[in-house]
Amino acid sequence: MGSTKTNPGNYFEDFKLGQVLNHATPRTITEGDVSLYTALYGGRFALQSADSFAIDCGLQAAPIDDLLVFHIVFGKTVPDVSLNAVANLGYADVRFLAPVYPGDSVQTTSEVIGLKENSNGKTGVVYVRSTGTNQLGEVVLDYVRWVMVRKKDVDAPAPETVLPDLPEVVDPANFQLPADLDFSNVDATLSGSPHFFDDYDVGEKIDHVDGMTIEEAEHMMATRLYQNTAKVHFNQHMMKDDRMGRRLIYGGHIISLARGLSFNGLGNAFFIGAINGGSHTAPTFAGDTIFAWSEVLDKADIPGRSDAGALRIRTLGVKNATCEDFPDKGEDGKRDPNVVLDLDYWVILPKATV
């Protein structure tokens, strides 16, 4: 008999279309989190690294890294959405809508926007739109993800299938840059890259060159920092009996590593405007070394902004192999087995340079 006080999580039949889940554990994001994030990923984007640089760009201080906000907002959804998940299937329409500064407190709410029971009758897919807000109630992040969740009672009736209408690509017209941001005089020496919006071409591929090996302590500290409670990341006693016999690394850890590596080639990509979609195509484990490469998929102006433009980027994370040959799908359509991440997102770069 299990305790009646612990959180059993939700099973597929517990989710109802239109249901709103107010998630627990509001979280103040601080300079301490920023330092740990730097220690874990080695980020060098100047806007997030120095108040002085951010102030020169019109901001009040260095904003919190977009992905750190994402991981913390995401972490709150785990106990309610994915504690009984079989698989995290995808993301879409991930939009960063307001900067977060040290001292801001964020919390997360989700709405069930789609349900589809699988034909095996044992699992179903749940689509949720999750919204992170700050202490003023302003939305800082909004995104959709879908997960495959177990049914507790296989005899529970299947809900009506409803699939949400999701954009394949977020329209840059939806981007919300900080009102006080001014990218018209960015110092390319301090930023560490002479390449701005106009310097990138659609179709261009960039090998980010560097590799980063992951330790157990690192990915666990990261994932706990995000208050993400998924057991597979922390509990070796359980995972030793799993198929791989190892603790799985949180997929978001790989996204942050790939983004950190992407500085070498995309050093002025200061903001993530949106994530269009992404998949974790293979698991990663402690001891793996992560490399990354990117392809420019598209370029777009941002309505109302003459100082900044958006690049649609596809970044692939690759384990234990360098990327000078841009490992991807082969002619047979099969993905290179070393590819662990395939992320489609918009980054925002200044158009001008000093």
Which positions from 106 through 165 interact with its own copies, judged by CB under 8 A?
107, 135
Separation of CA 82 from chain center: 16
Residue 51 or residue 180: which is nearer to its own copies going by CB?
51
Tell me: does residue 220 bind its own copies (CB under 8 A): yes
Identity of the residue numbered 158: A
**Measured distance CA(234)–CA(223) in Å, rounded:** 9
Binding residue (CB under 8 A) for its own copies from 265, 273, 277, 327: 265
> Binding of its own copies at residue 73 (CB under 8 A)?
no
Among 60, 161, 236, 306, binds its own copies (CB under 8 A): 236
Q: What are phi and psi for residue 273, nearest 5 degrees?
A: -75, -40
- What CA–CA distance (Å, rounded) separates 102 from 105? 9
Nearer to its own copies, 280 or 319 (CB): 319
How many other C-beta atoms lie within 10 A of the C-beta of residue 265? 20
**Under rule CB under 8 A, residue 79 binds its own copies:** yes
Binding flag, residue 306, its own copies (CB under 8 A)? no
Among positions 308-337, residues that touch its own copies (CB under 8 A) are: 320-322, 324
Q: How far is CA 96 from the centre of its chain?
A: 11
Q: Is 13 in the site for its own copies (CB under 8 A)?
A: no
Based on CB atoms, which residue is closest to its own copies, 223 or 276? 223
Q: Between 173 and 190, whose beta carbon lies closer to its own copies?
A: 190
Of 24 and 162, CB closest to its own copies: 24
| Residue 127 C-beta: closest distance to its own copies, Å | 22
- Residue 290 near residue 211, CB atoms below 8 Å: yes
Q: Does 60 bind its own copies (CB under 8 A)?
A: no
With CB under 8 A, what is the number of residues at the site for its own copies?
86
Shortest Å distance, C-beta 167 to its own copies? 28
Quick check: helix, strand or coil at residue 87?
strand
Strand partners, 326: none
Considering only residues 187 through 216, tell me which ones interact with its own copies, judged by CB under 8 A.
Answer: 189-193, 195, 199-200, 204-213, 215-216
Give the whole-angstrom CA distance, residue 106 versus residue 346: 23
With respect to its own copies, which residue has the nearer C-beta, 27 or 314? 27
Of 16-55, which residues contact its own copies (CB under 8 A)?
22, 24-28, 30-36, 38-44, 46, 49-53
What is the C-alpha separation between 286 and 289, in angstroms, rounded? 9
| Strand segments (E) across the chain | 20-22, 27-28, 85-96, 105-117, 123-133, 139-150, 205-207, 212-213, 271-280, 289-302, 305-319, 339-350
